[in-house]
Amino acid sequence: MQEPAIIATDNTINTEPSIKIGLSACLAGQNVRYNGGHTQSKLCLNTLSKYFDFQTFCPEVAAGFGTPRPTMRLVGDPNAPGLEFSNGEGKDLNAQLATGISAILAKTDNLDGYILMKNSPSCGLSRVKVYQQNGHPHKDRTTGLFTQALAKKYPLMPIEEEGRLHDDRLLDNFLLRVYAYSNFRREVLNQPSMFKLISFHSSYKYLLLAHNQELYRYLGRLLSGSKKIPLEELTQHYFEKFMQALGKQANRNNHTNTLLHILGYLKKTVPSPARQHIVEVIYKYQQGIIPLTTPVTLLKHYLQQYGSNYINEQRYLNPYPESLNPLTRHI
Ligand code: SF4
């Protein structure tokens, strides 16, 4: 069975805690595809590897299918598809693939996210074709068999297809969810307490406000103590709703609302003309004239001089390493 390989990480750039991300091995440039080739991802290898330790896995190789091998495809019911070789030589390959999936999932508890190869009957995240007896695909698409098992074991873990990460907005959302998931696991889940939960929630207050106002308010009420819930259950429920909230993308209006809230912290310390200038910059962002990074950088400049620890520690201002901003913050 294939051992996970770790792609070199540039520790001179990455000052954050080491974050481990699962990666389809073909995206890492390993020759594991059916044709003996790979689909190397420049985004993963040249950029994201500076921030993540990639753990690479190929479910089909782990299951003992050789390389090269006949192509495989999903067949039958899109809700419970079978796996077979496309040339019709091998039927009912699900049980063999399951051995590879189990072997991989025994090694993935330390992961904070997963990046997958699209369209694969094993690794595809969505839109995977399911062929019918007439030779045509079913109108409904599905998820690859490995990805189904991965998402079942780790329902809150951020999982994305590599192709979708070339969209700045999707990459931004994936990165902030990976860091949020990692931060929660390290800061709260390790040894939960009410104090840790409230501190964590406090640091994510404005990020939650930008992404999902309804769940932002719900989570605040949840931690207010009005409902008597055992700590373990409360922690798990909070984690589920927290990740759900961040899964919804923030739009310009919600970012504008959040930026204006944060500006309120400078009311007593920054003169009115300077605050008025910041307001104008925020509204230019709202109109789509400038990127989000402009009002955020301006606010950070003033907050570093005049803001409290509380507001400067808001993760909204730094949801993930700042050096990733040129890639992702033109939202
Ligand atoms: S898509 Fe998945 S199963 Fe297919 S070659 Fe890549 S890692 Fe292996």
Of 115, 8, 108, 110, the residue nearest 51 (C-alpha): 8
Domain count, the chain: 3
- For position 17, what pLDDT does the model report? 45
- Sorting pLDDT into bands at 50, 70 and 90, what band is 226? low
Which range marks the domain in which residue 238 is found?
Answer: 168-247
Q: Which two tokens stand for residue 268?
A: 């007593």
Domain boundary, last residue among 165, 200, 230: 165
Contacts of 90 by beta carbon, 8 Å cutoff, 6+ apart: 70, 84
Interval between CA 57 and ligand 1 midpoint (Å): 8
- For position 142, what pLDDT does the model report? 97
Residue 5 has pLDDT above 50, yes or no: no
- For position 322, what pLDDT does the model report? 81
Q: Which two tokens stand for residue 23?
A: 């990666």
Residue 12 has pLDDT above 50, yes or no: no
Quote the Cα angle for 143-146-147, to 5°: 45
Please indicate whether residue 32, judged by its CB atom, sits closer than 6 Å to ligand 1.
Answer: yes
Residue 329 has pLDDT above 60, yes or no: no
pLDDT in tens, 190-220: 999 999 999 999 999 999 999 999 999 999 9
For ligand 1, pick from 24, 73, 143, 150 the residue to mutate: most ligand atoms within 8 Å of CB: 24
- For position 212, what pLDDT does the model report? 96
Statement to judge: residues 58 and 151 lie in one domain? yes
Statement to judge: residues 48 and 133 lie in one domain? yes
Interval between CA 52 and ligand 1 midpoint (Å): 20
Q: For all residues of the chain together, what is the average pLDDT?
A: 91
- For position 325, what pLDDT does the model report? 63
Residue 227 has pLDDT above 50, yes or no: yes
68 preceded by a cis bond (ω within 30 of 0): yes
Atom of ligand 1 nearest to the CA of 120: 1
Interval between CA 122 and ligand 1 midpoint (Å): 7
| CA–CA separation, 201 and 220 (whole Å) | 8
Statement to judge: residues 56 and 195 lie in one domain? no
- Residue nearest (by alpha carbon) to ligand 1 atom 8: 58
Q: For the chain, give the percent of residues with pLDDT over 70.
A: 92
Statement to judge: residues 159 and 173 lie in one domain? no
Residue 2 has pLDDT above 90, yes or no: no
Statement to judge: residues 232 and 262 lie in one domain? no
- Sorting pLDDT into bands at 50, 70 and 90, what band is 91? confident
pLDDT in tens, 181-198: 999 999 999 999 999 999
Domain boundary, last residue among 165, 185, 202: 165
Statement to judge: residues 157 and 290 lie in one domain? no
- For position 3, what pLDDT does the model report? 34
Statement to judge: residues 87 and 119 lie in one domain? yes
Interval between CA 136 and ligand 1 midpoint (Å): 23
Statement to judge: residues 173 and 156 lie in one domain? no
Q: CB of 36 within 8 A of CB of 68? A: yes
Domain boundary, last residue among 108, 140, 165: 165
Statement to judge: residues 17 and 80 lie in one domain? yes
Residue 302 has pLDDT above 70, yes or no: yes
Statement to judge: residues 125 and 181 lie in one domain? no
Of 155, 232, 148, the residue nearest 197 (C-alpha): 232
- For position 81, what pLDDT does the model report? 97
The full 3-state SS of the chain, as one line of letters, equals CCCCEECCCCCCCCCCCCEEEEEEHHHHCCCCCCCCCCCCCHHHHHHHHHCEEEEEECHHHHCCCCCCCCCEEEECCCCCCEEEECCCCCCCCHHHHHHHHHHHHCCCCCCCCEEECCCCCCCCCCCECEECCCCCECCCCECCHHHHHHHHHCCCCCEEEHHHHHCHHHHHHHHHHHHHHHHHHHHHHCCCCHHHHHHHHHHCHHHHHHHCHHHHHHHHHHHCCCCCCCHHHHHHHHHHHHHHHHHCCCCHHHHHHHHHHHHHHHCCCCCHHHHHHHHHHHHHHHCCCCCCHHHHHHHHHHHHHHCCHHHHCCCCCCCCCHHHHHHHCCC
- 129 or 226: whose pLDDT is higher? 129
Which residue is listed with tokens 């074709």? Answer: 129
pLDDT in tens, 247-297: 999 999 999 999 999 999 999 999 999 999 999 999 999 999 999 989 999
What integer is the mean pLDDT of 99-118? 98
Contacts of 181 by beta carbon, 8 Å cutoff, 6+ apart: 112, 113, 156, 157, 158, 243
Please indicate whether residue 122, judged by its CB atom, sits closer than 6 Å to ligand 1.
Answer: yes
What integer is the mean pLDDT of 65-81? 96
Statement to judge: residues 19 and 144 lie in one domain? yes
- For position 89, what pLDDT does the model report? 84
Statement to judge: residues 199 and 72 lie in one domain? no
pLDDT in tens, 149-193: 999 999 999 999 999 999 988 999 999 999 999 999 999 999 999
What integer is the mean pLDDT of 41-46? 94
